[in-house]
C-alpha cells in the first residue's frame, strides 16, 4: 500500500492546522534611504516602489509604515559631500544621525538598525580607508567603530557593520562598551558575498566603487567553507546577530549555520526585489505568490529575521486581507 501524504492537504483549514513554518511582521526589517536636501521623495528607477526621502518627507513615510505594523527599519544615508575618509559617515550631524533623531522624535518605538559602512560616504566608493589602491583593514576599523558610536549616540537601537573588514565586530564592541553602550546589539553582516545582486542598491545609495571591485574584502561565492570562519570570528568578537547576504542564492549557507545560538538574519537584497517587481510589472508572474514563497523559503532554511524591500507590500497585503501569514 502506498503512503497517502495528500490526506493532510485536503482543504485550507487542514493545511493551516499542520503548517510548521510561520512568518509575522515582527520578523521583517524594512530598509529606508535618507538623502540630504529638502522636499525629496524620489523613486529609485531600478527598484520600483522604493524611494529616497529627505528628512522633511520622512515623517509621512514613517506614519504609513507604523500604521501597517512594520516595527523595524534599516537606515541608509546619502550625503551631499563625499571625501576620501568618508567624514560625513561619522559626523555628529550626518544624514543618518539626523534621520535617527527624526524617527525617534515621531515614532520612538521603531527599532532603528543602522548600516555601518563607508561606501556611501567616500569619494572613491570603497568601504574603507585606502592605502594606494587597496583598503587598509586595520586603519578602517578606527573609522568604522567611530561611525557605529555616532549612530548609537544619535539613538540607534542596533548597529549593523557591512564593510567586511576583519575584526570590525570587536572594534565596535570595544568602542561601544568604552563609551557606556554595553547593551547595544551588533547585527553583523557576517556572510556577505561579492555579488551581482547588489546592482540596484548601488543606484539607490550612489555607492558604486570608482575603480576596481570589493572582492578582496567581500566573500567569494565559489568557496563553500570560508563562511564558517566568518561566523566563528564574529561570534567570538561579540556579535548578537549573524547575517547572510544576499539571501536566495545562499540558502544552503543559511541551512549550514542554522543551529547556531544567535538569531540568523537574511538580507533579501535589491536585485532579488527588482527581478520580482520587473516580472510582475510585465505580467509574467504572480507577485504576491512569488514574494510569499520566497519569504517562507528563507524561514524554512533557518532564517529568523528577514531584511526585505517587500516588507511594506507584505504588510499592505496582510492589512487588506489579501494574504494570511
Residues known to be catalytic: 192, 245
Beta bridge partners of 93: none
Q: In this structure, are residues 114 and 77 in contact, taking their beta carbons and an 8 Å threshold?
A: no
User: d(Cα 214, Cα 71) in Å, to the nearest integer?
Assistant: 32
In angstroms, rounded to a whole number, what is the distance separating the alpha carbons of residues 301 and 257? 10
Report the alpha-carbon distance of residue 89 to residue 96 in Å, rounded.
Answer: 8
Q: Which three cell numbers stand for residue 35?
A: 538623502
Helix (H, G, I), strand (E, B) or coil at 317: helix
Tell me the pairing of strands 158-161 and 134-135: unpaired
Cell 575618509: give the residue: 85
Distances (CA, A) of 209 to 171, 215, 216, 220, 285: 24, 12, 13, 18, 33
Cβ atoms of residues 65 and 25 within 8 Å: no
Q: Which residues pair with 35 in a beta bridge?
A: 78
Q: How far apart are CA 96 and CA 255, in angstroms?
A: 33
Helices (H), 116-269: 137-154, 168-178, 199-205, 226-237, 251-256
Compute the C-alpha angle 274/279/281, nearest 5°.
Answer: 90
Amino acid at each position: 500500500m502506498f503512503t497517502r501524504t495528500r490526506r493532510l492537504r485536503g482543504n485550507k483549514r487542514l493545511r493551516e492546522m499542520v503548517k510548521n513554518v510561520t512568518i509575522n511582521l515582527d520578523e521583517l526589517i524594512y530598509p529606508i534611504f535618507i538623502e540630504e536636501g529638502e522636499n525629496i521623495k524620489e523613486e529609485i528607477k531600478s527598484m520600483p516602489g522604493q524611494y529616497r526621502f529627505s528628512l522633511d518627507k520622512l515623517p509621512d513615510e514613517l506614519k504609513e509604515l507604523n500604521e501597517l505594523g512594520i516595527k523595524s527599519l534599516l537606515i541608509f544615508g546619502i550625503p551631499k559631500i563625499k571625501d576620501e575618509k568618508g567624514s560625513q559617515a561619522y559626523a555628529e550631524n550626518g544624514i543618518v544621525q539626523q534621520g535617527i533623531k527624526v524617527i525617534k522624535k515621531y515614532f520612538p518605538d521603531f527599532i532603528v538598525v543602522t548600516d555601518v559602512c563607508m561606501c556611501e560616504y567616500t569619494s572613491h566608493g570603497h568601504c574603507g580607508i585606502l592605502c594606494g589602491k587597496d583598503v587598509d583593514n586595520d586603519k578602517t576599523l578606527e573609522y568604522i567603530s567611530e561611525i557605529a558610536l555616532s549612530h548609537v549616540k544619535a539613538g540607534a537601537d542596533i548597529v549593523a557593520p557591512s564593510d567586511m573588514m576583519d575584526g570590525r565586530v570587536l572594534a565596535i564592541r570595544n568602542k561601544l562598551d568604552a563609551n557606556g553602550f554595553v547593551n547595544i546589539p551588533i547585527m553583523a553582516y557576517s556572510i556577505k558575498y561579492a555579488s551581482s545582486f547588489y546592482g540596484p542598491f548601488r543606484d539607490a545609495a550612489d555607492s558604486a566603487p570608482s575603480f576596481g571591485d570589493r572582492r578582496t574584502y567581500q566573500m567569494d561565492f565559489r568557496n563553500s567553507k570560508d563562511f564558517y570562519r566568518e561566523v566563528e570570528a564574529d561570534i567570538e568578537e561579540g556579535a548578537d546577530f549573524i547575517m547572510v547576504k544576499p539571501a536566495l542564492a545562499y540558502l544552503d549557507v543559511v541551512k549550514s549555520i542554522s543551529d547556531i545560538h544567535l538569531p540568523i538574519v537574511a538580507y533579501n537584497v535589491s536585485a532579488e526585489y527588482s527581478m520580482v517587481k520587473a516580472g510582475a510589472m510585465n505580467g509574467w508572474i504572480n507577485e504576491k505568490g512569488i514574494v510569499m514563497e520566497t519569504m517562507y523559503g528563507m524561514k524554512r532554511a533557518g532564517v529568523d529575521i528577514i531584511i526585505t524591500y517587500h516588507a511594506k507590500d507584505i504588510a499592505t497585503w496582510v492589512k487588506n486581507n489579501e494574504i494570511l501569514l
